[in-house]
Amino acid sequence: MHFPGRFSEQLLADQLHQVSLSFLVDDLVVRRGGVAANIAFGMGQLGEKPVLIGAVGQDFADYQAWLERHGVDCESVHVSNEHHTARFVCTTDEEMCQIASFYAGAMAEARNIELKPAVDRTGADFVVISADDPAAMVRHSTEARERGYRFAADPSQQIARMSGDDLRALVEGAELLFTNDYEKSLLESKTGWSESDVMAEVGVRVTTQGSRGVEIAGKDVERVHVPAAKERAKVDPTGVGDGFRAGFLAGRSWGLSWERSAQVGSLLATLVLETVGTQEYDVKPHDFADRLAESYGDGAAADVLPWLIA
């Protein structure tokens, strides 16, 4: 929502202990989100068939229909009988100051979800454990290890909430670890692990670096740096990291190299950056290939276009 004024003019320093305000807003926009849904949508845009797992409320029907129209399998999503779907509600004033609330809602029930039924039903061969209820993240990582599922740990914004013990339990044995630069340092600080300690626990570490691109390193992977794809506008950074993960994971599922997969992820992230909202972009195969060529050369376009067309 947008408030056509300044919050600072409505707040009285000597009355903050009894503040009671209602802001008359002049705009309301409802946008789809959620880390898992954003990643799944992006993979669907690239022709993949991702399986979404998470906990939602009875209000999920419209969102489910949207995701399914865009190639996302939602059959394994848990629907709560008690809570609404998690949501972030934010009001922004003329000075870009924000007052916001996050409602976790049904997300807390994600800890009751077992991965095995979804894997058995779909034959999925890789699990991505992204930001969710922290207890659910630890449970799913534990189950993946016990059942021998290949998995990626993607703690994202939940690093700030999770304890060092929880983070160690999440990361141990992951084939992939996704973080940005700041999260990389925070994870090492909270776990007490050095960079080499982390690398001993995971197969490959993927570290996004904003406008500087992404770095990939691993036990048996030569260090790779991929610059960010060329952008045409900076509109809304929300969901850019989710877009990168979607493209990167799709590229790996196609059998592309680490570098090429990161290039696909970087371009998909750029498409998210160029639109308002996390799921408002559209991947058109030939246009996508042309932009890959523009940023990374004709070889990148030639490697990726057949997968997009297929």
Residues designated as active site: 242
Are the beta carbons of 218 and 203 closer than 8 angstroms?
A: yes
Return d(Cα 142, Cα 163) in angstroms, integer: 16
260 SS3 class: helix
Residue 268 tokens read as 């998909």
Distance between CA 89 and CA 100 in Å, rounded?
A: 6
Extract the tokens encoding 308: 């997009």
Amino acid identity at 74: C
Rounded Cα gap, residues 112 and 135, in angstroms: 9
Q: Where are the alpha helices (DSSP H) in the chain?
A: 35-45, 61-69, 116-122, 134-147, 164-171, 181-191, 195-201, 240-253, 258-273, 285-296, 298-309
